[in-house]
Amino acid sequence: MLAQRPPMGWNSWNTFGGAINEQVVRDTADAIVEKGLKDAGYEYVVIDDCWSLRERNEEGRIVPNPEKFPSGMKALADYVHSKGLKFGMYSCAGTRTCAGFPGSFDYEFIDAKTFAEWGVDFLKYDFCFKPRLANGPILYNRMSMALKASGREILFSACNWGSDEVEKWIRSTGAHMYRSTGDINDSFQSFKNIAMSQVDKIAYSGPGCYNDIDMLICGMHGSGNVANGGCTDIEYRTHFALWCLFQSPLMIGGDLSKMDDFNLDLLKNKELISINQDPEARPPMMVNGGDRPVFFKHLANNEYVVAFFNFTDRSDTWGGDTVEFYDLGLTVASGYGFRFRDIFTGEDTGVLTGRLSTKVDAHDCKIFRGTLVEK
Ligand code: GAL
């Protein structure tokens, strides 16, 4: 069974856009292994839009652009597999992809067979240029069945940007993850708005079909295809923490040949990844809203997370940031308190009975993980 945990990997779009080619894919596969990302759990190497010629061949097959992919897709898939990784590609439910290359509408079964022959393990499936009267459930269901009929196990990654209340029907189509928002860009505003738009919808996400809040921008620093000023390292950490807390698929979008040490370490942060991969996949409860949100999340094995975010531009909050345990349902009479650990500093809070207080700087976050203990 696929996607029993949020899928992890790399996708070409955020950095390379139309400038994708086989060398980039090979170098990225090498880097995923050499830089320890494979050991951290990253598995899928995905080519997004712009990999094919503008028209199908006489047999109706999509043809990889020979200038970008001179060795062909089969050889590239073999290379990625030789690294112990999985190979992903992209198509679209409409007649054209978003960048105007051939889409799979009406060619679903032919394309699924082609992908399977090449050794594809993952298909991202977009929603541009679809006939107005053809609806998402039909189109995603059709490609999902085509992939299942292809003879190869292929993870199906839907991308309709959250339209038509996708969270309510996408699991029924057999998809394993689904984009729920418009495209991210490399800015604090972008990732903050994307994450907060999904707070009420994470409850639909879980094993077998995860809400995908888009590819990561960690370490892009204002370069690449979705550039918009870039973020500070602290902001990239807040971004990654939100994606982990919401258990989104983790698809790295940065250029691994240029990834700085801070962001490489962040992408490999064991504590955050283990929250992201938690098998129970329970949505976080929002204990406090607004621009200083606080979340409480149950993990497997009786562990809990309290996550504080400061989306304001101010670091100097009067009184600090506090979560009262009665707001989580824990009363003084229970005889229990929480013992937490700050996952970034390792600091132990000791047993706390009434509340957890901290101080979160502007655009930063604090993530605590712990258990209930008898007082
Ligand atoms: C968008 C999609 C992006 C990227 C792009 C390619 O619709 O949301 O993630 O795939 O198309 O053209």
State in Å: Cα 368 to ligand 1 middle: 34
Confidence of residue 303 (pLDDT cuts 50, 70, 90): very high
Choose the weakest-confidence range: 76-80, 284-288, 312-316.
Answer: 312-316
Look at residue 131 and tell me whether its pLDDT is greater than 90.
yes
Give the C-alpha separation, 76 to 87, whole Å.
8
Q: Which atom belonging to ligand 1 lies closest to the Cα atom of 49?
A: 6
Look at residue 311 and tell me whether its pLDDT is greater than 90.
yes
Q: Which atom belonging to ligand 1 lies closest to the Cα atom of 126?
A: 7
How much is the CA Rg of the chain, to the nearest whole Å? 21
Q: What is the mean pLDDT of the chain?
A: 97
Look at residue 362 and tell me whether its pLDDT is greater than 70.
yes
13 C-beta closer than 6 A to ligand 1:
yes
Q: How many C-beta atoms lie closer than 10 Å to residue 26's C-beta?
A: 17
49 C-beta closer than 6 A to ligand 1:
yes
Residue linked to tokens 């292994």? 33
**317-357 confidence digits (pLDDT tens):** 676 799 999 999 999 899 999 999 999 999 999 999 999 99
Look at residue 20 and tell me whether its pLDDT is greater than 90.
yes
**156-215 confidence digits (pLDDT tens):** 999 999 999 999 999 999 999 999 999 999 999 999 999 999 999 999 999 999 999 999
Confidence of residue 56 (pLDDT cuts 50, 70, 90): very high
17 C-beta closer than 6 A to ligand 1:
no
Q: Output the CA torsion sign for 86, 205, 212, 190.
A: negative
Express as a percent the part of the chain with pLDDT over 70: 99
**Biggest distance spanned by C-alpha atoms of the chain:** 75
State in Å: Cα 331 to ligand 1 middle: 48
126 catalytically annotated: yes
Confidence of residue 298 (pLDDT cuts 50, 70, 90): very high
Mean pLDDT of 128-144: 97
The single residue of 48, 111, 126, 212 carrying the catalytic annotation is: 126
Q: Which atom belonging to ligand 1 lies closest to the Cα atom of 124?
A: 10
Residue minimizing CA distance to atom 3 of ligand 1: 183
**222-233 confidence digits (pLDDT tens):** 999 999 999 999
The residue whose CB lies within 8 Å of the most ligand 1 atoms, and thus the one to mutate among 10, 13, 180, is 13
18 C-beta closer than 6 A to ligand 1:
no
**Cβ–Cβ < 8 Å for 178, 211:** yes
Residue linked to tokens 């996607």? 3
pLDDT score for 320: 78
Give the C-alpha separation, 94 to 150, whole Å.
20
pLDDT score for 316: 77
Residue minimizing CA distance to atom 9 of ligand 1: 183
The single residue of 30, 183, 233, 321 carrying the catalytic annotation is: 183
96 C-beta closer than 6 A to ligand 1:
no
pLDDT score for 319: 67
State in Å: Cα 79 to ligand 1 middle: 25
99 C-beta closer than 6 A to ligand 1:
yes
Tell which phi-psi region holds residue 230, choosing left (phi > 0), alpha (psi between -120 and 50) or beta. left
**62-92 confidence digits (pLDDT tens):** 999 999 999 999 999 999 999 999 999 999 9
What 3 state SS string does the chain have?
A: CCCCCCCEEEECHHHHHHHCCHHHHHHHHHHHHHCCHHHHCCCEEECCCCCECCCCCCCCCCCECCCCCCCHHHHHHHHHHHCCCEEEEEEECCCECCCCCECCCCCHHHHHHHHHHHCCCEEEEECCCCCCCCCHHHHHHHHHHHHHHCCCCCEEEEECCCHHHHHHCHHHHCCCEEECCCCCCECHHHHHHHHHHCHHHHHHCECCEEEECCCCCCCCCCCCCCECCCCCHHHHHHHHHHHHHCCCCEEECCCCCCCCHHHHHHHCCHHHHHHHCCCCCCCCEEEECCCCCEEEEECCCCCEEEEEECCCCCCCCCCCEEEEHHHHCCCHHHCEEEEEEECCCCCEEEEECCEEEECCCCCCEEEEEEEEEEC
Q: Which atom belonging to ligand 1 lies closest to the Cα atom of 215?
A: 9
Q: Which atom belonging to ligand 1 lies closest to the Cα atom of 99?
A: 12
Distances (CA, A) of 160 to 157, 167, 273: 10, 10, 26
Look at residue 248 and tell me whether its pLDDT is greater than 90.
yes
**Cβ–Cβ < 8 Å for 88, 121:** yes
Mean pLDDT of 134-151: 98
Q: Quote the pTM value.
A: 0.98
186 catalytically annotated: no
240 C-beta closer than 6 A to ligand 1:
no
